[in-house]
Structure 1
């Protein structure tokens, strides 16, 4: 999926192409791009047309012209302009342009003739059906982006009204004198509103999903079970919280469970799962709290401990049973135990450094580090070679405060190609913490590392390296530095290196 910056870049590119004489309609050029592309296109067209002699023959260009009179004339002259550009003009700073655009938008959306070859409709992905709700659905992300402008809230208000069925769709916008008694004939049907809301709720655009959730919740459309299922299916934390809060409110009001609690507990979002754990108490299922003591999310574990204590249980005893019992120990059981353990439990955590499961070893090492427990340097150096990436990473974090006292030759050896990528990364992190010529040697050596992440970090370090400072401080011989510089220039190019002068010329 493209980022907002990439969409904006495509919008600017389309504007540049139009100014160079590109004959492809803008709606076709920006087909499939997000709202940022249209906003960037409008801003770039306005910028380019500020230069003297800029061509203004194309209607798309005139619709984005810096002169408000030209923008208004373009709206009047164009029969079927791109709905996105008209929507942008609906938030125009010039009142005359703004009012005319709002009338035109009503005609485009509510009364546009349906033709399969209509480029404006193709750009909105409108199928062969006279359903204005489809056009409104496509325009919603852009309307929400424009909502923050001085005159941009108008479009959002109209979308909310259309979804609520309070008045006609858009016919009244382009015919201000239309009697209110005829609005109901032009309003979206209940089926259209429901389908539009479902499309908005399933959009890949997060602000659009939040808007759909807000409108749906204001209408009181769903019961606790459906609200919880929507919360569990959501991937955006803010939207998930909206559905979750509504589900909890419905349960608190005495509504039927309808599987709401189980749906919340099955969510991938920690905030939603935590709410589900809390809801267990109201549902009379507090005894299930121990199932969530080893949840991956700290907030869920905290809620489970709270619920357990409310029933008179002791989270510490449950965690101790998880770590010392015959069952399989999990990494998050170790993390949860460390959150309630006392100083007397440090030996137990040390013992887990020899556990056969790598994630468990990493979690135990992380717990010891957070508790400030000392682990012998030889043990930590050995754990840099651990098959588990999390264990090697935690070992490096343990050693980082004392990196200057470590033998650079030992660390440099661990950056060799025979070691696992996570071992090379951990050793390089320590060399970076140590600094000096040892870090420079490792950085140059890792410029060709097969691991992309390690290679990128090495390039960043070499590109920013102050070679003259290294020479002046006498950390390396001139000949050695010259060789390292030559190898670095071979990989990066001399233009990327931070050189003020060449002392080896």
Structure 2
């Protein structure tokens, strides 16, 4: 039994003991509600007492209008179990009580895709009446479930109703969904908030700079730039962690008449940002290539990614010599970017690249191996095997074994044997299938075979 299955079993048993839903499951994850419904209906949790149908009998009238039945309402735990019960009559009866307990509204949403038509109809009535009046907490738990149900056969109706509801929802309720853990919820909330003009340019830029979802960041950045207030938006966009958002900010510098401010982004860690910075400068009448060459000319002040930027817009004949010189720089980041630049320029000097596999910095060795990979069939096996030994650092063995694998010779089988004898095999990812193959080829035959 997996950890997820154990958690679901514990949640079902907790409901049977009368515990509240918030004490048992993560209310903000839609998959939790769907999995809980499936687990209860499957009936795999033996020993769980089912809800008493007599307590819900007052609402077992399929044609009854929506509303609350007479008599005391069941507790939250009992109602949750009834809404997910395998008996369709019990699920339908439970729905009449659900409007009294907003905590179970996500399960009502699940019932709108029920296979029993009477249950679907009753769930739709309850959901369409309760959702418009729901508070922010209830919406935060229910909206992600409805959006996830769009993938089901009968889930489109509730999703369409939700779209119209959110278009007319109070601004505070809609913008609160922008903090929801579910990315689908944040996406639809942002789209409607932009459509309704509920967010300022600074708020949009803040979302673009800090949200974890790529689609949200992109939409928020576009909306922030469309607002046309560079003094509020550009600093946030240019300082974002996402390269795509920073690139949008760099591109917007030209429209704001501030193209000169793109120069520092020639050395950004993101290739997209560097390309946008070069475009902005060219549109302003400045060639970025001399700027890269000047930055790489002084080893004492060269930015880390200047060698890579130089390769991206330079040429092999003129600039390769500078990159080779920077492979011996004191800073590992500069050395790694210099090797990356040589790969971009397609420099294939195997004799000079091989010694870089001995660099103490893992990043430099990684880039050297990438540069050598297209020429793996020309690499000397003896040199690679010497670096694949247990006496070499783990980051060197890791990259060299990948080169041996690409070499496609018996040399890789030798490294598979070494892996078994290696005192530190963990950081060296040799494919298990390769190791098993080596043992099949080299194991001694059993007696009689």
Q: TM-score, normalised by structure 2?
A: 0.79
The 1-side partners of 2:283 and 2:106 are apart by 55
Aligned to 2:437: 465
**Residue 88 in 1 paired to residue 114 in 2?**
no
**Residue 208 in 1 paired to residue 182 in 2?**
no
Check 1:503–1:219 CA distance in 2 against 1; reply closer, same or farther (3 A cut).
farther
Structure possessing the higher relative contact order (Cα contacts under 8 Å, 6 or more residues apart): 2
Q: CA deviation at 1:276?
A: 0.9
Aligned to 1:34: 29
The 1-side partners of 2:338 and 2:259 are apart by 29
Map residues 69-148 of structure 1 onto 2, 5 A cutoff: 69-76=89-96, 80=101, 82-105=104-127, 132-148=135-151
Map residues 383-394 of structure 1 onto 2, 5 A cutoff: 383-394=356-367
The 1-side partners of 2:203 and 2:15 are apart by 52
Q: Which structure 2 residue ranges, 5 or more long, are not aligned?
A: 52-77
**Residue 445 in 1 paired to residue 418 in 2?**
yes
Map residues 283-298 of structure 1 onto 2, 5 A cutoff: 283-298=256-271
The 2-side partners of 1:462 and 1:20 are apart by 47
The 1-side partners of 2:211 and 2:291 are apart by 31
1:172-212: CA deviation from partner (whole Å, max 9, x where unpaired):
xxxxxxxxxxxxxxxxxx5xx41x44442223322222122
Q: CA deviation at 1:433?
A: 2.3
SS of 1:259's partner is: helix
The 1-side partners of 2:255 and 2:149 are apart by 42
The 2-side partners of 1:21 and 1:267 are apart by 44
SS of 2:230's partner is: coil
Aligned to 1:313: 286
Contact 1:45 1:65 in 2 (8 A): yes
Q: CA deviation at 1:342?
A: 1.6
Aligned to 1:476: none
The 1-side partners of 2:372 and 2:299 are apart by 33
The 2-side partners of 1:40 and 1:12 are apart by 12
Aligned to 2:65: none
The 2-side partners of 1:317 and 1:246 are apart by 35
User: RMSD of the TM alignment (CA)?
Assistant: 3.6
Contact 2:11 2:24 in 1 (8 A): no
Check 1:229–1:75 CA distance in 2 against 1; reply closer, same or farther (3 A cut).
closer
Q: Which structure 1 residue ranges, 5 or more long, are not aligned?
A: 1-5, 112-130, 167-189, 472-480, 483-500
The 1-side partners of 2:120 and 2:306 are apart by 60
Q: CA deviation at 1:404?
A: 5.1
